[in-house]
Chains A and B, each alone.
Chain A
Amino acid sequence: MGSRWLLLILFSLTTSALLAQSPPPAPAEPTVQSLLDRIQQLENRLNQLEDRERKHEAVQVGAAAAPAPAETTQQAAVMTPAPPPPAPPPSHTQEHASMGEIRDTERRFPSLQIRGFGDVDFSATDKKGSISGFNLGQLVLHLASPLSDKVSYFGEVSFTAQPSTYDLSVERSIIRYDYNDYFKLSFGKYHTPIGYWNAAFHHGAWLQTTIARPEMVQFGGTFIPTHFVGIEAEGNIPSGGLGLGYNVGLGNGRSSILSKSGDSGDSNDNRSWVANLYARPTRFYGLQVGASVYRDKLTPQPGQNFAEWITAADIVWTKEKPEFLAEYANVHHRDVATSNTWDSQAFYVQLAYRLPWQQSKWKPYYRYEYIHKPEDDPTLVNVLDLTGSTLGVRYDITNYAAFKGEYRNSRHGVNEPRVNGAFFQTAFTF
Protein backbone atom coordinates (compact mmCIF):
# COMPACT_ATOMS: atom_id res chain seq x y z
CA MET A 1 0.00 0.00 0.00
CA GLY A 2 2.87 2.33 0.94
CA SER A 3 4.54 1.73 -2.41
CA ARG A 4 1.29 2.73 -4.18
CA TRP A 5 1.28 6.12 -2.41
CA LEU A 6 4.95 6.57 -3.17
CA LEU A 7 4.22 5.88 -6.85
CA LEU A 8 1.39 8.42 -6.86
CA ILE A 9 3.55 11.14 -5.34
CA LEU A 10 6.41 10.36 -7.72
CA PHE A 11 3.99 10.50 -10.66
CA SER A 12 2.69 13.90 -9.56
CA LEU A 13 6.16 15.36 -9.13
CA THR A 14 7.42 13.95 -12.45
CA THR A 15 4.43 15.33 -14.29
CA SER A 16 4.97 18.71 -12.66
CA ALA A 17 8.61 18.77 -13.72
CA LEU A 18 7.70 17.84 -17.28
CA LEU A 19 4.94 20.45 -17.50
CA ALA A 20 7.28 23.09 -16.14
CA GLN A 21 9.36 22.67 -19.31
CA SER A 22 6.41 22.83 -21.65
CA PRO A 23 5.89 26.06 -23.59
CA PRO A 24 3.80 28.73 -21.92
CA PRO A 25 0.15 28.86 -22.84
CA ALA A 26 -1.13 31.26 -25.42
CA PRO A 27 -1.98 34.69 -24.08
CA ALA A 28 -5.57 35.66 -23.48
CA GLU A 29 -7.71 35.19 -26.58
CA PRO A 30 -7.38 38.29 -28.76
CA THR A 31 -10.35 39.97 -30.30
CA VAL A 32 -11.30 39.15 -33.88
CA GLN A 33 -10.64 42.76 -34.88
CA SER A 34 -7.11 42.74 -33.48
CA LEU A 35 -6.38 39.44 -35.24
CA LEU A 36 -7.66 40.87 -38.51
CA ASP A 37 -5.48 43.93 -37.97
CA ARG A 38 -2.53 41.69 -37.35
CA ILE A 39 -3.21 39.61 -40.48
CA GLN A 40 -3.49 42.80 -42.50
CA GLN A 41 -0.18 44.05 -41.14
CA LEU A 42 1.55 40.75 -41.87
CA GLU A 43 0.16 40.72 -45.40
CA ASN A 44 1.43 44.25 -45.94
CA ARG A 45 4.82 43.24 -44.60
CA LEU A 46 4.93 40.21 -46.88
CA ASN A 47 4.08 42.34 -49.92
CA GLN A 48 6.77 44.85 -49.00
CA LEU A 49 9.35 42.14 -48.54
CA GLU A 50 8.45 40.45 -51.82
CA ASP A 51 8.66 43.79 -53.64
CA ARG A 52 11.99 44.52 -52.05
CA GLU A 53 13.30 41.09 -52.93
CA ARG A 54 12.25 41.55 -56.56
CA LYS A 55 13.88 44.99 -56.71
CA HIS A 56 17.00 43.66 -55.09
CA GLU A 57 17.27 40.85 -57.61
CA ALA A 58 16.71 43.27 -60.47
CA VAL A 59 19.46 45.54 -59.16
CA GLN A 60 21.80 42.58 -58.78
CA VAL A 61 21.22 41.47 -62.35
CA GLY A 62 21.47 44.97 -63.79
CA ALA A 63 24.42 46.29 -61.86
CA ALA A 64 26.29 43.39 -60.33
CA ALA A 65 29.68 45.09 -60.72
CA ALA A 66 28.69 48.54 -59.43
CA PRO A 67 29.90 49.35 -55.89
CA ALA A 68 27.30 50.31 -53.30
CA PRO A 69 27.19 54.03 -52.53
CA ALA A 70 28.85 54.98 -49.25
CA GLU A 71 26.49 55.62 -46.39
CA THR A 72 27.07 58.85 -44.57
CA THR A 73 25.53 58.18 -41.22
CA GLN A 74 26.34 55.65 -38.60
CA GLN A 75 22.72 54.53 -38.58
CA ALA A 76 22.74 53.92 -42.28
CA ALA A 77 25.99 51.97 -41.97
CA VAL A 78 24.42 49.70 -39.43
CA MET A 79 21.39 49.20 -41.60
CA THR A 80 23.13 48.43 -44.92
CA PRO A 81 22.88 44.70 -45.63
CA ALA A 82 25.86 42.84 -47.03
CA PRO A 83 25.41 41.73 -50.66
CA PRO A 84 23.93 38.25 -50.56
CA PRO A 85 25.81 35.25 -51.99
CA PRO A 86 24.40 33.67 -55.15
CA ALA A 87 22.46 31.03 -53.20
CA PRO A 88 21.66 32.48 -49.81
CA PRO A 89 20.91 30.00 -47.07
CA PRO A 90 17.59 30.37 -45.21
CA SER A 91 19.24 32.04 -42.22
CA HIS A 92 20.66 34.77 -44.44
CA THR A 93 17.27 35.41 -46.03
CA GLN A 94 15.84 35.90 -42.58
CA GLU A 95 18.60 38.34 -41.69
CA HIS A 96 17.99 40.20 -44.94
CA ALA A 97 14.32 40.60 -44.03
CA SER A 98 15.24 41.95 -40.64
CA MET A 99 17.54 44.52 -42.18
CA GLY A 100 14.70 45.53 -44.47
CA GLU A 101 12.47 45.98 -41.47
CA ILE A 102 15.13 48.15 -39.88
CA ARG A 103 15.34 50.31 -42.99
CA ASP A 104 11.57 50.73 -42.85
CA THR A 105 11.79 52.31 -39.43
CA GLU A 106 14.47 54.84 -40.41
CA ARG A 107 13.31 58.40 -39.90
CA ARG A 108 12.99 60.24 -43.16
CA PHE A 109 12.62 63.98 -43.48
CA PRO A 110 10.24 65.41 -44.34
CA SER A 111 7.67 62.69 -43.76
CA LEU A 112 4.21 64.12 -44.20
CA GLN A 113 1.33 62.46 -42.39
CA ILE A 114 -2.19 63.50 -43.34
CA ARG A 115 -5.27 62.57 -41.40
CA GLY A 116 -8.76 63.62 -42.28
CA PHE A 117 -11.74 64.14 -40.03
CA GLY A 118 -15.36 64.46 -40.99
CA ASP A 119 -18.82 64.28 -39.53
CA VAL A 120 -22.45 64.20 -40.63
CA ASP A 121 -25.06 65.59 -38.27
CA PHE A 122 -28.78 65.64 -37.71
CA SER A 123 -30.56 68.05 -35.42
CA ALA A 124 -34.13 68.78 -34.39
CA THR A 125 -35.27 71.25 -31.73
CA ASP A 126 -38.54 72.67 -30.48
CA LYS A 127 -37.27 76.23 -30.86
CA LYS A 128 -39.77 78.40 -32.74
CA GLY A 129 -38.74 78.81 -36.37
CA SER A 130 -35.98 76.23 -36.24
CA ILE A 131 -35.59 73.77 -39.11
CA SER A 132 -34.67 70.20 -38.43
CA GLY A 133 -32.52 68.20 -40.78
CA PHE A 134 -29.14 66.94 -41.77
CA ASN A 135 -26.02 68.96 -42.22
CA LEU A 136 -22.52 68.17 -43.29
CA GLY A 137 -20.07 68.98 -40.56
CA GLN A 138 -16.58 70.25 -41.13
CA LEU A 139 -14.22 68.33 -43.33
CA VAL A 140 -10.83 68.74 -41.68
CA LEU A 141 -7.34 67.80 -42.77
CA HIS A 142 -4.58 67.59 -40.19
CA LEU A 143 -1.01 67.63 -41.42
CA ALA A 144 2.08 66.71 -39.46
CA SER A 145 5.58 66.47 -40.84
CA PRO A 146 8.86 66.16 -38.99
CA LEU A 147 11.45 68.19 -40.94
CA SER A 148 14.39 66.99 -38.87
CA ASP A 149 14.96 65.42 -35.46
CA LYS A 150 14.21 68.79 -33.89
CA VAL A 151 11.96 70.62 -36.32
CA SER A 152 8.35 69.74 -37.06
CA TYR A 153 5.46 71.27 -38.95
CA PHE A 154 1.80 70.93 -38.01
CA GLY A 155 -1.12 72.21 -40.04
CA GLU A 156 -4.88 72.05 -39.99
CA VAL A 157 -7.33 73.18 -42.67
CA SER A 158 -11.09 72.98 -42.60
CA PHE A 159 -13.86 73.06 -45.18
CA THR A 160 -17.15 74.30 -43.77
CA ALA A 161 -20.40 74.08 -45.68
CA GLN A 162 -22.12 77.41 -46.36
CA PRO A 163 -25.42 77.98 -48.21
CA SER A 164 -23.74 78.66 -51.53
CA THR A 165 -20.15 77.53 -51.11
CA TYR A 166 -17.56 76.00 -48.79
CA ASP A 167 -15.39 78.10 -46.52
CA LEU A 168 -11.76 77.04 -46.57
CA SER A 169 -9.90 78.09 -43.47
CA VAL A 170 -6.38 77.59 -42.16
CA GLU A 171 -7.06 76.66 -38.54
CA ARG A 172 -3.51 75.98 -37.44
CA SER A 173 -0.13 76.33 -39.12
CA ILE A 174 2.82 75.83 -36.80
CA ILE A 175 6.51 75.26 -37.24
CA ARG A 176 8.18 74.12 -34.06
CA TYR A 177 11.82 73.89 -33.01
CA ASP A 178 12.48 71.52 -30.14
CA TYR A 179 15.55 72.35 -28.10
CA ASN A 180 14.73 69.79 -25.45
CA ASP A 181 11.75 68.79 -23.30
CA TYR A 182 11.97 72.06 -21.40
CA PHE A 183 12.01 74.47 -24.29
CA LYS A 184 10.17 74.19 -27.59
CA LEU A 185 9.71 77.31 -29.68
CA SER A 186 7.10 77.61 -32.38
CA PHE A 187 5.71 80.20 -34.78
CA GLY A 188 2.39 80.30 -36.53
CA LYS A 189 -1.31 80.06 -35.84
CA TYR A 190 -2.47 78.07 -32.82
CA HIS A 191 -5.51 77.22 -30.84
CA THR A 192 -5.00 79.60 -27.93
CA PRO A 193 -3.83 77.72 -24.81
CA ILE A 194 -6.52 79.16 -22.55
CA GLY A 195 -8.03 76.47 -20.34
CA TYR A 196 -8.08 72.83 -21.41
CA TRP A 197 -10.53 72.17 -24.20
CA ASN A 198 -9.34 74.74 -26.71
CA ALA A 199 -5.80 73.36 -26.81
CA ALA A 200 -6.69 69.69 -26.35
CA PHE A 201 -9.45 69.22 -28.92
CA HIS A 202 -9.20 70.69 -32.37
CA HIS A 203 -11.39 70.61 -35.44
CA GLY A 204 -12.55 67.07 -36.01
CA ALA A 205 -15.49 65.97 -33.89
CA TRP A 206 -14.20 62.40 -33.65
CA LEU A 207 -11.50 63.57 -31.24
CA GLN A 208 -13.99 64.76 -28.62
CA THR A 209 -16.52 62.75 -26.66
CA THR A 210 -19.51 64.98 -27.35
CA ILE A 211 -21.07 66.21 -30.58
CA ALA A 212 -20.24 69.85 -29.99
CA ARG A 213 -17.71 71.88 -28.05
CA PRO A 214 -18.85 73.78 -24.98
CA GLU A 215 -20.20 77.16 -26.06
CA MET A 216 -17.53 79.07 -24.15
CA VAL A 217 -14.90 77.63 -26.51
CA GLN A 218 -17.08 77.36 -29.60
CA PHE A 219 -15.28 77.96 -32.91
CA GLY A 220 -16.60 81.19 -34.33
CA GLY A 221 -17.62 82.33 -30.87
CA THR A 222 -16.25 85.40 -29.15
CA PHE A 223 -16.20 84.52 -25.47
CA ILE A 224 -12.54 83.54 -25.61
CA PRO A 225 -10.19 83.97 -28.57
CA THR A 226 -9.93 80.43 -29.93
CA HIS A 227 -7.08 81.24 -32.33
CA PHE A 228 -3.80 82.99 -31.79
CA VAL A 229 -1.17 84.08 -34.33
CA GLY A 230 2.35 84.65 -33.11
CA ILE A 231 5.14 82.91 -31.28
CA GLU A 232 4.88 80.38 -28.49
CA ALA A 233 7.31 78.69 -26.12
CA GLU A 234 6.29 75.52 -24.34
CA GLY A 235 7.78 72.66 -22.40
CA ASN A 236 8.07 70.82 -19.15
CA ILE A 237 9.26 72.43 -15.94
CA PRO A 238 11.66 70.33 -13.83
CA SER A 239 9.37 69.58 -10.90
CA GLY A 240 9.70 65.89 -10.09
CA GLY A 241 6.42 64.12 -9.55
CA LEU A 242 4.40 67.31 -9.90
CA GLY A 243 4.76 67.16 -13.70
CA LEU A 244 4.59 70.89 -14.36
CA GLY A 245 4.45 72.28 -17.87
CA TYR A 246 3.98 75.68 -19.47
CA ASN A 247 2.93 77.56 -22.61
CA VAL A 248 3.83 81.20 -23.09
CA GLY A 249 2.84 83.07 -26.23
CA LEU A 250 3.05 86.50 -27.80
CA GLY A 251 0.82 87.34 -30.75
CA ASN A 252 -1.54 89.60 -32.63
CA GLY A 253 -4.60 88.93 -30.50
CA ARG A 254 -8.14 89.34 -31.75
CA SER A 255 -8.83 91.12 -34.99
CA SER A 256 -11.52 93.77 -35.34
CA ILE A 257 -13.94 90.87 -35.87
CA LEU A 258 -13.52 89.44 -32.40
CA SER A 259 -14.10 85.82 -33.38
CA LYS A 260 -11.10 85.90 -35.70
CA SER A 261 -7.40 86.09 -35.04
CA GLY A 262 -5.23 88.59 -36.84
CA ASP A 263 -3.97 86.23 -39.54
CA SER A 264 -3.17 88.99 -41.98
CA GLY A 265 -1.99 91.48 -39.36
CA ASP A 266 -2.94 93.01 -36.06
CA SER A 267 -5.87 95.36 -35.68
CA ASN A 268 -3.84 97.63 -33.43
CA ASP A 269 -0.26 98.23 -32.41
CA ASN A 270 -0.62 96.22 -29.23
CA ARG A 271 0.51 92.60 -28.89
CA SER A 272 -1.50 90.08 -26.90
CA TRP A 273 0.15 87.55 -24.64
CA VAL A 274 -0.92 84.32 -23.02
CA ALA A 275 0.55 82.17 -20.26
CA ASN A 276 -0.63 78.73 -19.28
CA LEU A 277 0.72 76.62 -16.43
CA TYR A 278 -0.41 73.06 -15.81
CA ALA A 279 0.45 70.09 -13.64
CA ARG A 280 0.16 66.39 -14.49
CA PRO A 281 1.12 64.71 -11.20
CA THR A 282 2.74 61.35 -11.80
CA ARG A 283 1.05 59.95 -8.72
CA PHE A 284 -2.38 60.53 -10.30
CA TYR A 285 -2.01 59.37 -13.88
CA GLY A 286 -4.76 61.03 -15.90
CA LEU A 287 -5.12 64.14 -13.75
CA GLN A 288 -4.30 67.57 -15.11
CA VAL A 289 -4.79 70.88 -13.35
CA GLY A 290 -4.11 74.17 -15.11
CA ALA A 291 -4.43 77.93 -14.98
CA SER A 292 -4.17 80.49 -17.77
CA VAL A 293 -3.94 84.24 -18.23
CA TYR A 294 -4.52 86.11 -21.47
CA ARG A 295 -4.03 89.84 -22.08
CA ASP A 296 -4.99 91.87 -25.13
CA LYS A 297 -6.25 95.21 -26.33
CA LEU A 298 -9.36 95.06 -28.49
CA THR A 299 -10.14 97.54 -31.24
CA PRO A 300 -13.53 96.49 -32.63
CA GLN A 301 -13.99 99.92 -34.28
CA PRO A 302 -11.42 102.62 -35.02
CA GLY A 303 -11.15 104.79 -31.93
CA GLN A 304 -12.79 102.19 -29.64
CA ASN A 305 -10.28 100.44 -27.41
CA PHE A 306 -10.87 97.91 -24.65
CA ALA A 307 -8.33 96.24 -22.42
CA GLU A 308 -9.03 92.53 -22.09
CA TRP A 309 -7.94 90.21 -19.29
CA ILE A 310 -8.96 86.57 -19.37
CA THR A 311 -8.24 84.29 -16.45
CA ALA A 312 -9.09 80.61 -16.61
CA ALA A 313 -8.66 77.46 -14.59
CA ASP A 314 -9.26 73.82 -15.43
CA ILE A 315 -9.17 70.40 -13.86
CA VAL A 316 -9.48 67.25 -15.91
CA TRP A 317 -9.23 63.51 -15.46
CA THR A 318 -8.52 62.22 -18.93
CA LYS A 319 -8.86 58.50 -18.35
CA GLU A 320 -12.21 57.33 -19.55
CA LYS A 321 -13.33 55.44 -16.44
CA PRO A 322 -14.39 58.09 -15.66
CA GLU A 323 -13.58 61.09 -17.84
CA PHE A 324 -14.03 64.39 -16.05
CA LEU A 325 -13.52 67.81 -17.61
CA ALA A 326 -14.23 71.11 -15.93
CA GLU A 327 -13.06 74.59 -16.72
CA TYR A 328 -13.89 78.12 -15.78
CA ALA A 329 -13.03 81.45 -17.39
CA ASN A 330 -13.57 85.07 -16.48
CA VAL A 331 -13.35 87.68 -19.22
CA HIS A 332 -12.69 91.22 -17.99
CA HIS A 333 -13.07 94.20 -20.30
CA ARG A 334 -12.22 97.80 -19.55
CA ASP A 335 -13.05 100.71 -21.81
CA VAL A 336 -9.78 102.59 -22.19
CA ALA A 337 -11.58 105.93 -22.68
CA THR A 338 -14.15 105.72 -19.87
CA SER A 339 -12.62 103.09 -17.54
CA ASN A 340 -15.98 101.28 -17.40
CA THR A 341 -15.49 97.59 -16.70
CA TRP A 342 -17.42 94.41 -17.43
CA ASP A 343 -16.85 90.87 -16.22
CA SER A 344 -18.30 87.81 -17.91
CA GLN A 345 -18.05 84.28 -16.59
CA ALA A 346 -18.43 80.86 -18.12
CA PHE A 347 -17.84 77.30 -17.06
CA TYR A 348 -18.72 73.77 -17.95
CA VAL A 349 -18.51 70.42 -16.19
CA GLN A 350 -18.50 67.23 -18.26
CA LEU A 351 -18.60 63.70 -16.95
CA ALA A 352 -18.33 60.57 -19.07
CA TYR A 353 -17.72 56.92 -18.45
CA ARG A 354 -16.50 54.23 -20.83
CA LEU A 355 -18.68 51.22 -20.07
CA PRO A 356 -16.78 47.93 -19.81
CA TRP A 357 -19.26 45.82 -21.78
CA GLN A 358 -19.34 45.11 -25.51
CA GLN A 359 -15.63 45.81 -25.98
CA SER A 360 -15.95 49.20 -24.24
CA LYS A 361 -17.73 50.73 -27.22
CA TRP A 362 -20.32 52.70 -25.23
CA LYS A 363 -19.56 55.96 -23.47
CA PRO A 364 -22.45 57.86 -21.89
CA TYR A 365 -21.84 61.45 -20.90
CA TYR A 366 -23.39 64.50 -19.32
CA ARG A 367 -22.37 68.16 -19.51
CA TYR A 368 -23.63 71.22 -17.76
CA GLU A 369 -22.58 74.61 -19.04
CA TYR A 370 -23.12 78.16 -18.01
CA ILE A 371 -22.35 81.59 -19.44
CA HIS A 372 -23.15 84.94 -17.92
CA LYS A 373 -22.42 88.25 -19.60
CA PRO A 374 -23.39 91.77 -18.49
CA GLU A 375 -26.08 92.98 -20.84
CA ASP A 376 -24.30 96.26 -21.51
CA ASP A 377 -20.87 94.76 -22.38
CA PRO A 378 -20.18 96.45 -25.74
CA THR A 379 -17.59 93.89 -26.84
CA LEU A 380 -19.24 90.47 -26.46
CA VAL A 381 -22.35 91.49 -28.35
CA ASN A 382 -22.88 88.06 -29.88
CA VAL A 383 -22.56 86.19 -26.58
CA LEU A 384 -25.81 85.22 -24.84
CA ASP A 385 -26.37 84.05 -21.32
CA LEU A 386 -26.62 80.28 -21.25
CA THR A 387 -27.64 77.53 -18.91
CA GLY A 388 -27.78 74.13 -20.51
CA SER A 389 -27.51 70.43 -20.02
CA THR A 390 -26.41 67.81 -22.50
CA LEU A 391 -27.06 64.13 -22.01
CA GLY A 392 -25.73 61.74 -24.58
CA VAL A 393 -23.93 58.59 -25.52
CA ARG A 394 -21.05 57.85 -27.83
CA TYR A 395 -20.77 54.49 -29.53
CA ASP A 396 -17.45 53.67 -31.18
CA ILE A 397 -18.43 51.75 -34.29
CA THR A 398 -14.77 50.99 -35.05
CA ASN A 399 -11.45 52.33 -33.84
CA TYR A 400 -11.88 55.22 -36.26
CA ALA A 401 -15.59 56.02 -36.39
CA ALA A 402 -18.16 56.85 -33.76
CA PHE A 403 -21.85 57.47 -33.53
CA LYS A 404 -23.18 59.97 -31.00
CA GLY A 405 -26.67 60.83 -29.87
CA GLU A 406 -27.55 63.74 -27.57
CA TYR A 407 -30.47 65.36 -25.86
CA ARG A 408 -29.96 69.02 -24.99
CA ASN A 409 -31.99 71.30 -22.81
CA SER A 410 -30.79 74.89 -22.77
CA ARG A 411 -31.81 78.48 -22.32
CA HIS A 412 -30.04 81.16 -24.37
CA GLY A 413 -30.53 84.73 -23.22
CA VAL A 414 -32.38 86.20 -20.25
CA ASN A 415 -36.04 85.24 -19.72
CA GLU A 416 -36.06 83.20 -22.90
CA PRO A 417 -37.87 79.83 -23.01
CA ARG A 418 -35.87 76.66 -22.63
CA VAL A 419 -35.22 74.74 -25.82
CA ASN A 420 -35.17 70.98 -26.13
CA GLY A 421 -33.28 69.30 -28.91
CA ALA A 422 -32.17 65.96 -30.23
CA PHE A 423 -28.83 65.76 -32.01
CA PHE A 424 -27.10 62.90 -33.78
CA GLN A 425 -23.70 62.70 -35.34
CA THR A 426 -21.45 60.20 -36.98
CA ALA A 427 -17.85 61.34 -36.71
CA PHE A 428 -14.84 59.63 -38.17
CA THR A 429 -11.18 59.93 -39.02
CA PHE A 430 -9.55 58.59 -42.16
Chain B
Amino acid sequence: MTTHWKFASRIFALSCLCLALLPLSAQRHDVDIAVVVHPDAPVSNLSLSDVRKVFLGDRQYWSTNIPVVLLIRAPVARERDVVLKIIYQMSESQFKQYWIAKIFRAEAATAPKVVYSNDMANQLVTAIPGAIAFIDSKDVKPGSTVVRVDGRLPGEAGYPLR
Protein backbone atom coordinates (compact mmCIF):
# COMPACT_ATOMS: atom_id res chain seq x y z
CA MET B 1 0.00 0.00 0.00
CA THR B 2 2.83 2.37 0.92
CA THR B 3 4.65 1.56 -2.34
CA HIS B 4 1.54 2.31 -4.36
CA TRP B 5 1.02 5.55 -2.52
CA LYS B 6 4.62 6.63 -3.15
CA PHE B 7 4.28 5.79 -6.85
CA ALA B 8 1.01 7.73 -7.13
CA SER B 9 2.49 10.74 -5.36
CA ARG B 10 5.47 10.77 -7.75
CA ILE B 11 3.17 10.66 -10.76
CA PHE B 12 1.15 13.51 -9.31
CA ALA B 13 4.31 15.54 -8.67
CA LEU B 14 5.50 15.01 -12.25
CA SER B 15 2.11 16.08 -13.59
CA CYS B 16 2.29 19.26 -11.49
CA LEU B 17 5.75 19.94 -12.87
CA CYS B 18 4.57 19.51 -16.47
CA LEU B 19 1.57 21.78 -15.93
CA ALA B 20 3.81 24.44 -14.38
CA LEU B 21 6.18 24.29 -17.39
CA LEU B 22 3.53 24.43 -20.10
CA PRO B 23 2.85 28.19 -20.03
CA LEU B 24 6.57 28.89 -19.91
CA SER B 25 7.31 26.93 -23.04
CA ALA B 26 4.52 28.77 -24.82
CA GLN B 27 5.89 32.16 -23.79
CA ARG B 28 9.43 31.57 -25.04
CA HIS B 29 8.50 32.07 -28.69
CA ASP B 30 6.68 35.32 -27.95
CA VAL B 31 9.70 37.59 -28.31
CA ASP B 32 8.58 40.64 -30.24
CA ILE B 33 10.48 41.85 -33.27
CA ALA B 34 10.80 45.64 -33.32
CA VAL B 35 10.67 47.73 -36.48
CA VAL B 36 13.50 50.25 -36.15
CA VAL B 37 14.11 53.16 -38.53
CA HIS B 38 16.78 55.80 -38.98
CA PRO B 39 15.99 58.84 -36.83
CA ASP B 40 15.53 61.01 -39.96
CA ALA B 41 12.77 58.80 -41.38
CA PRO B 42 9.54 60.78 -40.95
CA VAL B 43 7.55 57.86 -39.60
CA SER B 44 6.48 56.78 -36.14
CA ASN B 45 3.48 54.56 -36.78
CA LEU B 46 2.84 52.16 -39.65
CA SER B 47 0.09 49.69 -40.25
CA LEU B 48 1.18 46.11 -40.87
CA SER B 49 0.16 46.51 -44.52
CA ASP B 50 2.33 49.66 -44.74
CA VAL B 51 5.28 47.70 -43.37
CA ARG B 52 4.56 45.03 -45.97
CA LYS B 53 4.40 47.65 -48.72
CA VAL B 54 7.78 49.02 -47.64
CA PHE B 55 9.44 45.60 -47.47
CA LEU B 56 7.91 44.46 -50.75
CA GLY B 57 9.57 47.47 -52.38
CA ASP B 58 6.23 48.99 -53.36
CA ARG B 59 7.00 52.04 -51.23
CA GLN B 60 10.56 53.16 -51.90
CA TYR B 61 10.67 56.65 -50.45
CA TRP B 62 9.90 57.98 -46.95
CA SER B 63 9.83 61.44 -48.51
CA THR B 64 11.09 62.90 -51.76
CA ASN B 65 14.68 63.06 -50.55
CA ILE B 66 14.85 60.04 -48.26
CA PRO B 67 14.85 56.68 -50.04
CA VAL B 68 13.95 53.59 -48.07
CA VAL B 69 16.91 51.30 -47.39
CA LEU B 70 15.81 47.82 -46.39
CA LEU B 71 17.90 45.81 -43.95
CA ILE B 72 17.12 42.17 -43.36
CA ARG B 73 18.87 39.50 -41.33
CA ALA B 74 20.68 36.64 -43.08
CA PRO B 75 18.95 33.25 -43.37
CA VAL B 76 18.27 31.23 -40.23
CA ALA B 77 17.98 34.30 -37.96
CA ARG B 78 14.70 34.41 -36.09
CA GLU B 79 14.04 37.99 -37.23
CA ARG B 80 14.23 36.83 -40.83
CA ASP B 81 11.87 33.94 -40.16
CA VAL B 82 9.32 36.33 -38.65
CA VAL B 83 9.66 38.77 -41.57
CA LEU B 84 9.27 36.04 -44.17
CA LYS B 85 6.33 34.46 -42.37
CA ILE B 86 4.35 37.54 -41.39
CA ILE B 87 5.41 40.29 -43.79
CA TYR B 88 6.27 38.52 -47.01
CA GLN B 89 4.32 35.31 -46.38
CA MET B 90 6.93 33.54 -48.50
CA SER B 91 9.43 30.74 -48.18
CA GLU B 92 13.14 31.46 -48.45
CA SER B 93 13.25 30.48 -52.12
CA GLN B 94 10.10 32.47 -52.93
CA PHE B 95 11.70 35.48 -51.24
CA LYS B 96 14.84 35.15 -53.37
CA GLN B 97 12.82 34.71 -56.53
CA TYR B 98 10.64 37.69 -55.62
CA TRP B 99 13.59 40.07 -55.38
CA ILE B 100 15.32 38.78 -58.52
CA ALA B 101 12.09 39.37 -60.42
CA LYS B 102 11.51 42.74 -58.75
CA ILE B 103 14.92 44.09 -59.70
CA PHE B 104 14.95 42.80 -63.23
CA ARG B 105 11.38 43.96 -63.76
CA ALA B 106 12.91 47.41 -63.21
CA GLU B 107 10.66 47.98 -60.21
CA ALA B 108 13.50 48.29 -57.70
CA ALA B 109 17.17 49.12 -58.07
CA THR B 110 18.49 46.98 -55.22
CA ALA B 111 17.39 44.12 -53.01
CA PRO B 112 17.33 44.41 -49.20
CA LYS B 113 20.78 44.59 -47.65
CA VAL B 114 21.70 41.57 -45.59
CA VAL B 115 22.86 42.10 -42.00
CA TYR B 116 24.52 39.38 -40.00
CA SER B 117 23.70 40.33 -36.43
CA ASN B 118 21.39 42.56 -34.45
CA ASP B 119 24.42 44.67 -33.47
CA MET B 120 25.11 45.27 -37.13
CA ALA B 121 21.45 46.07 -37.76
CA ASN B 122 21.50 48.56 -34.86
CA GLN B 123 24.58 50.29 -36.23
CA LEU B 124 23.39 50.41 -39.83
CA VAL B 125 19.93 51.63 -39.06
CA THR B 126 21.49 54.54 -37.20
CA ALA B 127 24.12 55.21 -39.84
CA ILE B 128 22.16 54.97 -43.11
CA PRO B 129 19.51 57.63 -43.73
CA GLY B 130 16.18 56.01 -44.59
CA ALA B 131 17.17 52.59 -43.21
CA ILE B 132 14.59 50.29 -41.70
CA ALA B 133 15.33 47.01 -39.94
CA PHE B 134 13.72 44.29 -37.89
CA ILE B 135 15.52 43.71 -34.59
CA ASP B 136 14.70 41.48 -31.66
CA SER B 137 13.11 43.94 -29.21
CA LYS B 138 15.51 42.79 -26.45
CA ASP B 139 18.48 43.81 -28.62
CA VAL B 140 17.28 47.25 -29.71
CA LYS B 141 19.86 49.85 -28.77
CA PRO B 142 18.53 52.48 -26.32
CA GLY B 143 17.60 55.68 -28.11
CA SER B 144 16.68 53.94 -31.35
CA THR B 145 13.57 54.99 -33.25
CA VAL B 146 11.14 52.13 -32.84
CA VAL B 147 8.06 52.37 -35.05
CA ARG B 148 4.61 51.46 -33.78
CA VAL B 149 2.97 48.78 -35.89
CA ASP B 150 -0.81 49.04 -36.01
CA GLY B 151 -0.46 51.52 -33.14
CA ARG B 152 1.40 49.11 -30.86
CA LEU B 153 4.96 48.89 -29.65
CA PRO B 154 6.82 45.63 -29.02
CA GLY B 155 5.68 44.10 -25.76
CA GLU B 156 2.18 45.52 -25.98
CA ALA B 157 -0.76 43.19 -26.30
CA GLY B 158 -1.72 42.53 -29.93
CA TYR B 159 1.67 43.50 -31.38
CA PRO B 160 1.68 41.65 -34.71
CA LEU B 161 5.39 40.86 -35.21
CA ARG B 162 6.35 37.99 -32.95
Contact = CB atoms under 8 A, between A and B. Distances in A.
Given A8-B16, A27-B78, A34-B76, A149 B52 contact: no
B75 A30 contact: yes
A75 interface: yes
Residue in B29, B64, B104, B129 with the greatest tally of chain A CB atoms within 10 Å: B104
Contacts of A178: 60-61, 67
Interface in A357-404: 359-360, 396, 399-400
A27 B81 contact: yes
A25 interface: yes
Nearest to B16: A12
Contacts of A154: 104, 106
Contacts of A145: 109
A182 to B, nearest CB: 9
A413 B46 CA distance: 54
Contact of B92 (A98, A152, A176, A399): A399
Size range of the chain B interface in the assembly: 35 or more
Contacts of A84: none
B75 A38 contact: yes
Interface string A15-38: 110011000110110110011011
Contacts of A13: 20
A25 B28 contact: yes
Interface string B48-64: 01101100001111011
B127 A360 contact: no
A357 to B, nearest CB: 13
B109 A105 contact: no
B9 interface: yes
Interface of B: 9, 12-13, 16-17, 20-21, 24, 28-29, 31, 47, 49-50, 52-53, 58-61, 63-64, 67, 69, 71, 74-76, 78, 81, 89, 91-94, 96-97, 100-101, 103-106, 109-110, 113-116, 119-120, 123-124, 126-129
7 contacts: A30-B75, A78-B127, A102-B127, A107-B69, A142-B103, A146-B110, A207-B104
Pick the 3 closest A-B CB pairs, nearest first.
Answer: A282-B49, A154-B106, A142-B104
Given A34-B76, A105-B124, A280-B58, 19 more contacts: A8-B13, A11-B13, A11-B17, A19-B21, A20-B24, A24-B31, A75-B127, A78-B126, A78-B127, A113-B110, A115-B103, A142-B103, A199-B105, A241-B49, A243-B53, A359-B91, A360-B94, A400-B96, A429-B100
Interface of A: 4, 8-9, 11-13, 15-16, 19-20, 24-25, 27-28, 30-31, 34-35, 37-38, 41-42, 45, 75, 78-79, 98, 101-102, 105, 107, 111, 113, 115, 142, 144-146, 149-150, 152, 154, 156, 172, 174, 176, 178-181, 186, 199-200, 202, 204, 207, 236, 241, 243, 280, 282-283, 285, 319-320, 354, 359-360, 396, 399-400, 429
